[in-house]
Amino acid sequence: MSESTLSTSTSLETQVLGYLLNFKFYDERVKNIITRDMFEGRHVTLYDAIKYAHQNYKTDLHPRQLAAVVADRNPAMPTSAMHEIYEIIDTLPSQVSDTQDLEYDVVKNFWVRDRARQIGEKAIAIFTGESEHFGELKTLIDMVEDGRMSDKTTYTEVTKGLSELLEDEAGDPDFPFDWDIISSRLPGMDRGNLGIIFARPETGKTTFCAFTASQYIKQKQKVVYWANEERADKIKTRIIQAYFAQTKAEMQSASDELNDRYMAEVDPYLTVMDAVGMSMDELNDYAQLNQPDVMFCDQLDKFRVDGNFSRGDERLKEIYVLAREVAKRNKLLVWAVSQASNDGHDRQFIDYNMMDNSKTGKAGEADVIIGIGKTGTSEEENTVRHICISKNKINGWHGMETCHIDVHRGVYY
């Protein structure tokens, strides 16, 4: 094969192989980026030889030395195949370059081209029904979009040093519970966390979420509330009530003053969405584009997810896996709102085993699970509620705190 017959793709492969002869460039900049499956045909054999030589000799390679390594490692290779390899070696530079920036840009373009190939193959596999791995496809696309070069699509290395890790652990929580109900037991939550709030119907879980959202707004955190059960406008009103701790009648009588405060203190930090029929992909896309600090998904169980599932609990587990990925990938706090099963009826303490439908699958993804217990009558006069923490990966405390709900002002106290 002559150089004039090389395709554009093969010419780029040959260029990259030439750059890899430089041991320092290979070892310090591209060793963890370039893989053998990025090459085709005889170039795979050459890549394997370069990698073997660098691992064993740790020095720059001359093309003649590369030819010797290839011959030594492939003694049974047919003469015609070896001749094709030698033709490629003849096009490689005899001296390695001292500069690395230009070479790195070329390698990056080579990597992007290979990722485009993988994206196309995975998209076709999903389209034809051969695969359902949407998460890996999305990770590939995200990596290309943000320029995060890696040869892996499912994990990244933690490169922080000890001082950085200790500093992260020593700081205050990103989202403190700066109200008295549970702050002494659980100081707060961090970016990347997934929490679950669940209760029986008409216990006050949406009011608890609205109250919690109002506290985040007071911390000047950007809050997005996704509502697919109760009316979204009703929930927005409840959050505003909780922020001002006033009844609707009290707010109406002071509407002029409160409207000015609302525009200055609440509106910049609160977005409430009617989310009936929303998918997990849409949730992640919104988070990427708008970068909120906290998202409430009420109820997360009703979000759509792609794929075929033999059981309902498998679908729910996938939803919660994706919710955790949304929190981690976008560095925000996600609160999932869910129902308690009939096992949680008329109980003070309810734990995650009483969540509706999937129990272990949903619970396994959460950092914190808060249940709201209630006993006795359903009348408004029964204001006693029990905040039950049955899972806590933040500081390990489990137990129950008793409090009261003011349904007219949307607050817990």
pLDDT at position 380 is 79
pLDDT, tens digit, for every residue of 135-167?
Answer: 667 777 776 665 555 544 455 667 788 888 888
| Residue 181 and residue 86 share a domain | no
pLDDT at 7: 41
As to burial, measured by CB atoms within 10 angstroms (0-12 exposed, 13-18 middle, 19+ buried), residue 151 is middle
If one counts the domains in the chain, the total is 2
Give me 202's structure tokens.
């008409």
Kindly tell me the burial class for residue 282, based on how many C-beta atoms sit within 10 Å of its own C-beta (0-12, 13-18, 19 or more): middle
Any bridge partners for residue 196, and if so which?
336, 369
Dist CA 185 CA 409 (whole Å): 25
Shared domain for 118 and 31, answered yes or no, is yes
- Both 106 and 21 in one domain: the answer is yes
Residues 199 and 140 in one domain: no
164 in a domain, yes or no? no
- Whether the CB-CB separation of 31 and 104 falls below 8 Å is answered with no
Q: What gap in Å lies between CA 290 and CA 94, rounded to an integer?
A: 51
Two structure tokens written together for 19: 């750059």
The identity of residue 61, as a single letter, is: L
152 lies in some domain: no
Of 146, 181, 196, which residue sits at a domain end? 146
134 in the same domain as 186 = no
In-domain check, residue 155: no
Q: What is the pLDDT of residue 227?
A: 97
- Report the CATH number that the domain containing residue 70 is assigned in CATH: 1.10.860.10
CATH number of residue 281's parent domain: 3.40.50.300
Tokens representing residue 56 in the block: 């064993």
162 assigned to some structural domain:
no
Do residues 20 and 117 share a domain?
yes
Domain ranges, residue 356: 171-412
The SS3 call for residue 336 is strand
Last residue of a domain, one of 146, 162, 181: 146
Residues 136, 175 within the same domain:
no
Query: Which of 121, 147, 149 has its CA nearest to residue 136?
Result: 121
Question: What does the pLDDT read at residue 301?
Answer: 96
User: For residue 26, what are its two tokens?
Assistant: 């290979």
Whether 298 and 235 have beta carbons less than 8 Å apart is answered as yes
Q: What distance in Å separates the CA atoms of residue 272 and residue 248, rounded to the nearest whole number?
A: 19
Q: Is the residue at 151 inside a domain?
A: no
Contact predicate 292/332, CB 8 Å: yes
| Co-location of 230 and 300 in the same domain | yes
At how many degrees (to 10) do helices 312-330 and 134-146 cross? 10
Name the packing angle between helices 312-330 and 280-290 (round to 10°).
10
Whether residue 197 sits in one domain with residue 331: yes
Q: What is the pLDDT of residue 94?
A: 77
User: Can you list the residues of the chain whose pLDDT is less than 50?
Assistant: 1-10, 151-153
Give the Cα separation of 245 and 384 in Å (integer): 18
Structural domain includes residue 158: no
Can you give the pLDDT at residue 156? 64
The verdict on residue 62 lying in a domain is yes
Of 105, 129, 146, at which residue does a domain stop? 146
Residues 177 and 88 in one domain: no
- Please tell me whether residues 377 and 255 are part of one structural domain: yes
HEC readout, 49-104: HHHHHHHHHCCCCCHHHHHHHHHHHCCCCCHHHHHHHHHHHHCCCCCCCCCCHHHH
Same domain (yes/no): 262, 316:
yes
